[in-house]
Structure 1
Amino acid sequence: MNQIINQFRRIFADDGRGDKDFTQQEERLKKAQDELKEASASLARAANHLADFIKARM
């Protein structure tokens, strides 16, 4: 029971001191996510072109 009370006490007493700044990491992850989205869109376009090419050859 004391553990639960201590958890609530820590949650409500947390004022943000000692928190780490993850801004740079978040920016790198956002950039990587954007690049992955662009790559997957490019791959989808290439797959569609390949499918169209295969259909045209039949």
Structure 2
Amino acid sequence: MNADVTRQRGSHVVLRKEEMGCVIPVHKELAVGTLRSAIRQAGITPIEFVNAYKSR
């Protein structure tokens, strides 16, 4: 699941892994819809996200 930070502008960071890219806002808290959208952009399931978050 490792992705490279391609660039950051303001409060958003762009992550890229192979061909897929994902724009993530850098805030202490994210709205549920924003997090869900980022997970969808990353091409992973919510369970994969939770497992990756717990193992960091």
**TM over 0.5: same fold?**
no
Higher helix fraction (1 or 2): 1
- TM-score, normalising length: structure 1: 0.23
Higher strand fraction (1 or 2): 2
Report the structure number with the largest CA radius of gyration: 1
- TM-score, normalising length: structure 2: 0.23
Which structure has the higher relative contact order (CA within 8 Å, separation 6+)?
Answer: 2
